[in-house]
Amino acid sequence: MKKTTMRLADGRELVHYDSRDDVVRDAVDPRPLEPTATASEIRYDALLDEWIAVASHRQGRTYHPPADECPLCPSRDGRHSEIPADDYDVVVFENRFPSLTGGPGPLTAEDGHGLLAHRPGAGRCEVVCFTSDHDASFADLTPEQARLVLEAWTDRTAELSQLPGVEQVFCFENRGREIGVTLSHPHGQIYGYPFVTPRTERMLRALDRHRERIAGGNLFDDVLAAERAAGSRIVIEADHWTAFVPHAAHWPYEVHLYPNHRVPDLLALDDAARAEFPVVYLELLRRFDRIFGKDEPPTPYIAAWHQAPVSHPSRRDFALHLELFTIRRTSGKLKFLAGSESGMNVFINDVPPEAAAARLREIATPGYERKARHQ
């Protein structure tokens, strides 16, 4: 992998990740852009003991542009996009409309007890373009291209983890208008949060309780072992990765992908796990697109990497894993978060996890197991 860093016209960082070492990236962004102006802050929710971000400048972000005006396509034929190159492999750049940006700032409160606390929305938001092909999806990538994306995620995790104030790095992809995607070009995002996210905090608390209840036990290891032993919800069982529908899945079709040997983050994956990941992950994505039949539009999904916080005391006990789920519950119908889910955070799943796993096994790519053994 070759990494080349440059600056866009407004000062934002852009990084090329190329599979070939002889590629030269020396183009200059010719656009007359003013420096980005953001007004992000984070506010403390005392009742839930968590932080939320307020970023009003994002109201003006680019929304469903036509294909010939896509800001994530290469710059060609006199049209200048966010990427000043006529082609690329993988590109990462600072979001022009970030939810979080800049370095840490002082904590202030409107009351004497810290109940109305707030501070600048420090952090980092990046866009990851998986391919220059506007009409592709992640599932269309070759294993070599998917491996390059993995290397980019890993490098960005390393870089963002070193930024002042960043406590957690989150790599993710939203796919489909139903999810709320505003740009159809295949891409994902990376957030560097100035706090440990509420979802991760809950997992860390569960991890601690499990350790106390079962001396020496690791919650992630034990859940993975239990799912592998049960077998009924396993989707893919490879040499270095296991994909399964969790016992208490929240979403109609939800798969968790774990390395078989626990590591805290992407940086800690060994070469064997890195080599096998593209084969397993691409197979999962292709099965997702077949869940509802060949005549259905592409399945909307969210793919989210859960990584250990940068400096949490239980960091070494956390398990890197990827969560992949769709909000489509059946052909032509979506799973909406209504009263129970949105109001009380109690999910009601319409699809039994065992049935979802059986469906995902049923639609395996012909010859997948044989191909996987020969990778």
Q: Which residues are annotated as catalytic?
A: 187
Between CA 91 and CA 78 the distance in angstroms is 20
Between CA 332 and CA 285 the distance in angstroms is 19
Measure Cα distances from 284 to 138, 255, 368 in Å.
11, 9, 11
Residue with tokens 């940006």: 101
Q: Which of the 8 DSSP states describes residue 341? A: I
Residue 34 near residue 113 (C-beta atoms within 8 A): no
Helix axes 219-230, 198-213, angle to 10 degrees: 80
| 265 alpha carbon, distance to own chain's centre | 13
Between CA 83 and CA 12 the distance in angstroms is 11
Residue with tokens 């960091």: 315
In 3D space, the residue among 223, 220, 243 whose CA is nearest the CA of residue 233 turns out to be: 243
Between CA 260 and CA 281 the distance in angstroms is 14
Measure Cα distances from 118 to 52, 101, 159, 312 in Å.
10, 15, 26, 22
Task: For residue 108, count other CB atoms closer than 10 A to its CB.
Answer: 12
Task: For residue 344, count other CB atoms closer than 10 A to its CB.
Answer: 8
Residue 58, φ and ψ in degrees, nearest 5: -75, -10
